[in-house]
Amino acid sequence: MYVATTTVSILGGTGEDAFGDEADGSTVLASEISASLVESTRTAREPVTGTPRIVRTHICRIPPGTDVDENKRIKDEKTGEIYIVVAVTKNSNPFLAQPL
């Protein structure tokens, strides 16, 4: 179970940029999906200098059955921010349907 903090759209497809290279498309595959989008941070150090860096990531929980994979992107409909999908996992619970 999760508490929705926003609504998102799933973006997919590809197109061409001005140079003829493949670019991410902006085709909306699904919209107005309730989701929990939470920022997470961690500190990492550069291997050579040891300089600390803050790495920001986001975790998005969406309803089960939503068609999303690593080839799609997620757009926060409230802020307009677009996020790439790095990994998709599904929690296993034999009693309740789990979010993606």
Per-residue pLDDT, 51: 94
7 forms beta bridges with: 34
**What is the largest distance, in Å, between two alpha-carbon atoms of the chain?**
51
The arithmetic mean of pLDDT across residues 65-83, rounded, is: 92
Strand ranges across the sheet with 52-61: 52-61, 22-45, 6-16, 73-76, 82-84
Per-residue pLDDT, 28: 94
Paired tokens of 84: 């790439």
Mean model confidence pLDDT for the chain:
87
Which among 74, 42, 35, 78 is positioned nearest to 57, based on CA atoms?
42
> What's this model's pTM, rounded to 2 decimal places?
0.76
Give the pLDDT confidence of 16-54 residue by residue, as tens digits.
Answer: 888 989 888 889 999 999 999 999 888 999 999 999 999
The arithmetic mean of pLDDT across residues 1-15, rounded, is: 88
